[in-house]
Amino acid sequence: MIAVVDFGSQTAHLITRRIKENKVDVKIFTPQQALLEIKKINPSGIILSGGPSSVYEKGAPSIDSSIFALGIPVLGICYGMQLMSKALGGKVVAGEKEYGPAELQMSNVKSQISNKLPKQFIVWMSHGDRVISLPSGFKVVGRTESLPFAFVCDKKRNLFAVQFHPEVSHTQKGDQILSNFIKICGSKRQSHDIDVDSLKTGIRETVGENFVIGAVSGGVDSTVAGVLVAEAIGRKFLPVFVDNGLMREGTREHVERIFKQYKAKVIVVDAKEEALGKLKGVLDPEKKRKIIGKLYIDLFEREMKKFVDLGKDVKFLLQGTIYSDVIESKGSKHASNIKSHHNVGGLPKKMKLKLLEPLRYFYKDEVRSIGRKLNLPKEFVERQPFPGPGYAVRIRGEVTPKRLEQERIADKIILSELDKSKILDKVFISFPIMSGAFSTAVKGDARLYGEVVAVRIVTSGDVMTADWAKVPYEVLQKISSRIVNEVPDVSRVVYDITTKPPATMEWE
């Protein structure tokens, strides 16, 4: 077993997933419990995760330095590297912040940790601090242009550290680094395939004889979660689609078509006017999420009462929450709150319904895998993610009927042009943003002071990292020309080429 010590990293759970993909057992511990628990279970290896803190700050999470003298191989990642270095006599300082790709150049130091790694490859950075002096016994395995100590090791003590994130999909050869570490640990390997039948069994055991009302928004997550529950409990599942006017066209029909085969009639709640009314004058995206989250709960509790009046004992609310939602909404004690998802941090504290979240500890690509195991059609499984609050969080500033229509037209244009160019199935997500910025344009020899539309198209696997899609210029030109010509009162189009990190996937 590998022990992962979580210092609040956005990707701590992703580390455990990568270990499981190598068919090795893994368990997460907090820094406070780490030393005691590690002595109890005697793991074959220890991984120290990243985190948002600085090791030199008062109150920063730490661990007993005796952990490095247990004779167990240790891999420090980002904050974990800095913590290891400081604990063993190195020096860590605030440096220039670095987010996104960097080229790693390997040194001539030979170590098992560097087996099968090329001389140079791209790694993914997300840090503000850096090690400027290594502890005694450490050698440099790899460096980048700005970091002389990007990848280091002490072969004698089996201590290894990287400033980048090998667990994220955009780090080339990250899987190889983790696989090398596992081999150094001598960990016993066994199968860790997702067992859909056990997920269904868990749902039945949790629900018992109660009914479940399901929030099905038409996205991949809620669709897969809904189908799982429908297969697990049959007619006791009551799918509800809230038509808030903020979703892509055709979403209602998509939801009804999916659940028809499970003989589950989708209850459609028309909340278009109510949603727009509650969003009137609201500018802050966090407030939008919370408003929509509360509206959803109010609506579902209203529907619950109708079912109860019909003699159906509804106790649970199904949500398609996945792990990236949890992580960005402060998923652990030392983590930062990036944003409140409408179905995590956006929910009211007091609810009459208990939450049922069967996908809570899975990433997006794992959810798609579960969907394939459930024999869902490919076009549904590969459907682009769409935020629960819908277009509301893709419109910067107030959501008005006019801006909602502008967003809807621009969205159709992007999807259409990517589809015609056979690019749509190669990107993770694509959407326009009504930016709230205005600039001057000339249309028909007349001056127009119109809104700027930003376009975001990215590639990603696990949602925790993303790179901007290298869409051909001629496709971007078509998208730009159509938006400024077909969307009323738009002055220009800009293309977002920011990676995640530092940016989030959406624009809140």
Active site residues: 78, 165, 167
Separation between Cα atoms, residue 152 and residue 139, nearest integer Å: 6
* Residue located via tokens 């042009």: 417
Helices 473-486 and 401-420: crossing angle, nearest 10°?
Answer: 150
Q: Walk across the sheet containing 151-154 and list its strands.
A: 26-29, 2-5, 45-48, 74-77, 159-162, 151-154, 139-143, 91-106, 120-133
**Around Cβ 128, how many Cβ atoms within 10 Å?**
12
Q: What is the DSSP string of 26-71?
A: EEEE-HHHHHHHHHHH--SEEEE---SS-TTSTT-----GGGGGSS
Residue 252's Cβ-count burial label (10 Å; 0-12, 13-18, 19+) is: middle
Q: What number of residues does the chain have?
A: 508
DSSP code, position 440? E
CA 294 to chain centre: 22
DSSP code, position 266? P
End-to-end CA distance of the chain: 39
**Residues 6+ away with beta carbon under 8 Å from 419:** none
Q: What is the DSSP string of 199-228?
A: HHHHHHHHHTT-EEEEE--SSHHHHHHHHH
Pair of tokens at residue 107: 């040194």
DSSP code, position 425? G
Whether 150 contacts 163, CB under 8 Å: yes
**Residues 6+ away with beta carbon under 8 Å from 434:** 394, 395, 396, 397, 403, 406, 407, 410, 451, 453
